[in-house]
Amino acid sequence: METALNNFSETGGNQSQEVVVTPDRDVLSLGLKELWAFRGLVYFLAARDIKVRYKQTVLGASWAILQPVFTMLVFFVIFSRVAKIPSDNLPYPLFAFCGLVPWTFFANGLNHASQSLVNESNLLKKVYFPRLVVPVSAMLVGSADLVLAFSVLVVMMIWYGAAPSFNAALIVIPLILAFATCLGTGLWLSALNVQFRDIRHVVPFSIQAWMYLTPIAYPASVVPERFRMIYAINPMTSVVEGFRYALLGRGTPFGAETVVSAGMAALLLLSGLLYFRKMEKSFADVV
């Protein structure tokens, strides 16, 4: 048994509170109650990382917009002008950027979450707090980029005269899927990265390959009908298609393929939580 001081209690304030840490004998415990109790620390770490991320950069937070915009321009030249890929009867820049908004959040969130435990190694060795706080706060850093990129998407919709469809409220479905997929995969990779530092080299090109397996630069309709359910095993497929369907009225409607993607996202999140909880006891000794 050991004790630690919790400076980020339920109120998120600075009052000190003694916390008694005992071995968790429930192997199926996900630690969500304890994570909620330390939500003040989650917000603090996320806000700190957002401030540091663009510190001493010339363009500041504009990078959150420029990154998907430049990617959209590259896609426009290669996939629209050269390869003549269809875009669901939408202007290609709007089609591609609508897919890049949730994808950029997912890719940045996954990249940060996978490296988070190693980056916070000094903190892990010195003080007790729920280890889930670290990858969760790292993933939330991408939320700021999501808001900024979404504002650009709204401007593009106005420019192209694309009014939101009546399904706009359903955008919450792909957003939940994106958060679940990002956090579930991030928990797996962050825990593995503590044991195997090869992960930091694998993550960048894995994200790049995952992007081309997701219908961002091309519509999911180019995939043969008989392979659509297999294609939906990639949860980001329904995230990108759901984004387009909710906002632009194009893409794959919510249905059986969404259920397959949601099941895969839930499996990733649950298995990631269980694996993370199993391995977290050794983080401070190994990291």
pLDDT for res 91:
94
Q: Is the pLDDT of residue 4 over 60?
A: no
pLDDT for res 64:
78
pLDDT for res 27:
55
Q: Is the pLDDT of residue 88 over 90?
A: no
**pLDDT tens, 13-39?**
555 566 666 656 665 567 788 888 888
For the chain, what percent of residues have pLDDT higher than 90? 50
Phi and psi at residue 204, to the nearest 5°: -60, -50
Write 40-43 long-range contacts (CB < 8 A, 24+).
Answer: 40/8, 40/9, 40/10, 40/11, 40/12, 40/13, 41/7, 41/8, 41/129, 41/133, 41/137, 42/133, 42/136, 42/137, 42/140, 43/12, 43/137
What is the rounded average pLDDT of the residues 61-69? 83
Buried b (16+ CB within 10 A) or exposed e, 102-119: bbbbbbbbbbbbbbbbbb
**pLDDT tens, 238-266?**
999 999 999 998 877 888 999 999 999 99
**pLDDT tens, 151-162?**
999 999 999 988
Q: Is the pLDDT of residue 81 over 70?
A: yes
Pick the closest to residue 104 from 80, 75, 134 (CA basis): 75
Give the DSSP letter of residue 76: I
**pLDDT tens, 91-119?**
999 999 999 999 999 999 999 999 999 99
Residue 94 CB neighbour total at 10 angstroms? 20
